A and B are shown apart, each in its own frame.
Chain A
């Protein structure tokens, strides 16, 4: 007789946008660079998913080594941050859109390019927000235009003010948040 065991499977799905928020709130860019490029004594986080396993990244966040502070992240939160960091250069997964933002030093606008390696989207739009108390600053919504090869969409998002903005890229009901720093 077969004994049927019922496993309560808890599938933890890391949330890239929660990760983005945690990164912005905890000031990771203070040391690791506004584009996560690293700085003297601080490793670049861009492409970290190619140099460390996910488990290593989570361990480094949950039990950090000085001067990295202890932010009190739970494993789930660390997973969200790892997921966000993995997405910076397009992600480990081949189906995730690859986002690039130019120019290197953002002032008035950002030219956003999104490449869709998997399924093609119907529409792509973007809006940028900056949290300012009860009044989030908002950029005008931009509809992206498809390039000739249909996999690449481009759009220009403009900013009224410098600061810590988040670009929200929306396609087919999904949103990808990308925190950026706008200078002046």
Chain B
């Protein structure tokens, strides 16, 4: 069984109040697919890094060492923790350079599917510095089989640099029938896409991806993370619908079933299915890339490991996929703005051909307008997206509540830490409580290119 299949935590692991973890960024040669070899960096020499697991209530002491030549820092994505532990290099800590060391000590909170990744502005995530962090909620419904499923892509670095300059010639590879493809207009100049050499699940490409063995009758929980630096991911398990119970690790208003999940960069969904008959099925990331098939892993019942697994078409035509609107129970009458004491509005802009600028209200980091809050404030943040790409906006150190999409209030707001703002005039509103430890918390687009090109600001506790 692979390291990504999550067995029940042993009693012994739950007994200690503090879990000690050693994490080392190591340079490595990485071959995710036949004929593809890249110089990469992995935590403890593996891509993705180890799946970190603790029970909610335990503390961690992470001794982090950087053996690579880039500047690094570890961000604990989706955690509410002391500001100095947030890992945002240049904001909450100095970079950890080659040979450097940093101790991250905190109580992982809230429970759920979180992750950790580099956050130092040296393209660490694109080089392989990311992994899943599961904070077990012992109150959760138990699963018979549980598995971490990390979707990620291995970039061609020449195209990364071109995309940052806005003159990349790489195409969109979203699947046919996706909102990304449907939103394309003749005036779209592109220039911002990264070309990928390999599309992976848990470090490998099909058929080298690790399979997951299940039994008839099993209720299976997949903890799915989209760790791609730029690509929204569409995930489908052939022959099954997926029941979503958690979004970004947080319980959804009511669990709901879909044919496919639409997962923005950095988002996570906990998706369940029941095994009703013997078989072999592919869990796939769909795309229109000729290499699309690489991003697949087999789920099979015993005895079916040699069977040709059932696959899904690389298209979303007629497919019922997850949207915030569906997950939020449709639209309601009004946003509950009771108690809101601070407001901020951001227009997402930039991204012109040949331009290295992605902007918030026309400015790029560090000149963007900041949100100043007092502890105890309830903050409403409104985004309007004038660009031709969706933006996965992420706030460090808080759980945000998605309350409005495209001018319409969600019937049941969604608790998240990252949410996609639709392209071409789309809007989205968050409400969050400024009750995290005081400090400077970054708010940015999680598309690595857009963040590097300036689409970032911060929430500053005064």
Binding site for B on A (CB under 8 A): 24-31, 34, 39-41, 63-72, 130-135, 137, 160-164, 179, 181, 183-184
Contacts and interface: CB of A to CB of B under 8 A. Distances in A.
A184 B159 contact: yes
A170 B210 CA distance: 45
A131 B288 contact: yes
Contacts of B162: 184
B35 A34 contact: no
Interface in B304-334: 305-311, 313-315
The 10 closest A-B pairs by CB, nearest first: A163-B171, A30-B293, A27-B293, A67-B207, A133-B181, A133-B184, A69-B311, A64-B308, A27-B292, A39-B34
Given A40-B34, A65-B308, A27 B314 contact: yes
Contact of A133 (B182, B298, B308): B182
B364 to A, nearest CB: 26
B212 to A, nearest CB: 15
Nearest to A28: B293
B80 to A, nearest CB: 39
B280 A66 contact: yes
A66 B304 CA distance: 10
A161 B170 contact: yes
B389 to A, nearest CB: 13
B293 A26 contact: yes
Interface in B291-309: 291-294, 296, 298, 305-309
A179 B288 CA distance: 13
A135 B185 CA distance: 6
B221 interface: no
Contact of A183 (B181, B195, B206, B314): B195
A30 to B, nearest CB: 3
Interface in B114-158: 156, 158
Contacts of A34: 290
A79 to B, nearest CB: 19
A31 B336 CA distance: 51
B94 interface: no
B14 interface: no
Interface of B: 34-35, 156, 158-159, 162, 168-173, 176, 180-186, 188, 190, 195, 205-207, 280, 282, 288-294, 296, 298, 305-311, 313-315
17 contacts: A25-B315, A27-B289, A30-B291, A30-B294, A31-B206, A31-B207, A31-B293, A39-B35, A40-B34, A69-B310, A132-B171, A132-B184, A161-B190, A162-B170, A163-B173, A164-B288, A184-B195
Q: Interface of chain B, helix or strand or loop or mixed?
A: loop
Given A66-B308, A67-B206, A70-B309, A25 B293 contact: no
A162 B169 contact: yes
Q: Interface of chain A, helix or strand or loop or mixed?
A: loop
Contacts of B35: 39
B290 A132 contact: no
Contacts of B305: 66
Nearest to A64: B308
Given A27-B314, A31-B293, A160 B169 contact: yes
Contacts of B294: 27, 30-31
Contact of B183 (A39, A133, A163, A183): A133
A44 B255 CA distance: 45
A20 to B, nearest CB: 12
Contact of B171 (A30, A31, A134, A161): A161
B169 A69 contact: no
Given A25-B314, A27-B293, A135-B185, A66 B306 contact: yes
B195 A181 contact: no
Contacts of B292: 27, 30
Contacts of B186: 135
Contacts of B180: 133
A129 to B, nearest CB: 12
B34 A132 contact: no
A45 to B, nearest CB: 13
Given A184-B169, A184-B170, A66 B307 contact: yes
A174 B310 CA distance: 35
B206 A162 contact: no
A51 B289 CA distance: 29
A69 B308 contact: yes
A72 B282 CA distance: 13
